[in-house]
């Protein structure tokens, strides 16, 4: 089955709350604009909820010797879509060996580092998801142009045009339809029937359940981490 366009999803959403007739196309109407804007707002809201993100994005970037912080985002030092959160990280050296990097360093922990320009292989990072560019701060200024690998949580893509297909897995369509329907129902004084509300909740729960991952724990010894005490990383 081909992915539907934003216009088709909006039409289905309106029909679900009986805000338009079966034959009403709503093309270029005020109703369409309102629902299209609502759709993109819903995608932005979903981006802030881990259980609504369908994938974790793996990427890698070359470290710059001496650069203890790097911007990340469109046209940043690391030119990519700005992450919402960095979940896992490690550094690969020239010999192909990997060294863990703890991505959970807090702002307070970073501020407490007495000398923030000590040269060495980073063992921890603090990520500030500023907008439009996030900032990655390392505990050591890299002493080699090694490769930083990160797994991050990225925002869901906005829909540029109402004629565009949704850049999401097909299973998201039903949940998005009902989210748009519930949002627009409040605009037009419509009330979802008990059955419609049940279907909307089931679609929402299905997405959350699909993206739920078991949490495993990995521990690294001081000999590997350099600074600080033994710590744990939640993975998943």
> pLDDT tens across 145-182, in order?
999 999 998 888 889 999 999 878 777 888 899 999 99
Instruction: Give residue-wise pLDDT tens across range 93-142.
Output: 999 999 999 999 999 999 999 999 999 999 999 999 999 999 999 999 99
Instruction: Give residue-wise pLDDT tens across range 8-42.
Output: 999 999 888 877 554 555 555 688 899 999 999 99
DSSP conformation letters of 141-180: B-SS--EEEEEEE-PPPPP-STTSBP-S-TTHHHHHHHHH
* Model pTM above 0.85: no
């Amino acid at each position: 089955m081909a992915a539907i366009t934003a216009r088709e999803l909006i039409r289905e959403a309106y029909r679900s709350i009986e805000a338009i007739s079966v034959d009403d196309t709503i093309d270029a109407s005020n109703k369409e604009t309102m629902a299209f804007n609502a759709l993109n707002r819903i995608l932005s809201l979903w981006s802030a909820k881990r259980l609504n993100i369908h994938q974790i994005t793996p990427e890698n970037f070359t470290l710059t010797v001496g650069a203890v912080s790097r911007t990340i985002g469109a046209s940043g030092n690391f030119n990519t879509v700005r992450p919402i959160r960095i979940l896992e990280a490690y550094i690969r050296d020239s010999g192909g060996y990997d060294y863990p990097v703890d991505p959970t360093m807090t702002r307070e922990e970073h501020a407490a580092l007495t000398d923030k320009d000590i040269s060495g292989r980073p063992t921890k990072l603090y990520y500030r998801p500023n907008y439009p560019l996030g900032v990655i701060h390392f505990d050591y200024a890299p002493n080699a142009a090694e490769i930083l690998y990160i797994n991050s949580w990225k925002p869901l893509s906005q829909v540029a045009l109402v004629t565009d297909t949704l850049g999401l897995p097909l299973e998201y369509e039903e949940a998005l339809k009902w989210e748009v329907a519930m949002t627009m129902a409040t605009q037009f004084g419509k009330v979802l029937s008990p059955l419609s509300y049940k279907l909307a909740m089931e679609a929402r729960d299905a997405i959350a359940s699909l993206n739920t991952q078991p949490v495993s724990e990995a521990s690294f010894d001081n000999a590997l981490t350099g600074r600080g005490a033994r710590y744990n990383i939640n993975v998943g």
